[in-house]
Amino acid sequence: MSSRPGAKSFIEPAGAFALKSGYSLPELLITILLLSILFSLAIIFSSGVSQTRRLRDYSVAVALAQQAVEVVKSAPFSLLDDADAGENSVETDFNSDSGPQDSFLPVFESAGIKYKREVKITDVMAAEDKDRPIGLKLLTVKVEWKTIDGADAEPFILKTTIADLN
């Protein structure tokens, strides 16, 4: 084939496609796959962190309720509720703040979250005579808090009975 000077050839040079810019389909698919894996890991990690926070919050609430149960179980039966002991009761001690020496504060702060513990102790009455206590007290401990982002968490409520063994 002879070529004339100034004539155009219909045959492309061998490296013409290599000079064009752009991405091939496999390169785009690999990029999308890698991005989706990264986003999935980020979602899993962030949900794990929030779950850990929620478990920590409930662990503190359970510990506060358990503390109240243990103290009530160890106290004399006649000093448990306000009806029997008045202001010297264990119930009043848990629900009031009497200064820096008070071991049982109604509001407890941990990791920037304030927990409010409310202790209620009432007599359990006989089924046939609603005015006669049967030597049991119903202990209800309610712990409330707001999450770190300000939302109300479901309160932890513990109920148990304490018997007069004397």
Whether 8 shows a pLDDT value over 70: the answer reads: no
Residue type, 35: L
pLDDT digits over 54-63, tens only?
Answer: 889 999 999 9
Query: Which pairs count as long-range contacts for 108-113, CB under 8 Å and 24+ apart, including other chains?
Result: 108/60, 108/64, 110/60, 111/56, 111/148, 112/148, 113/57, 113/60, 113/145, 113/146, 113/147, 113/148
Whether 19 shows a pLDDT value over 70: the answer reads: no
Structure confidence at residue 87 as a pLDDT band (50, 70, 90): confident
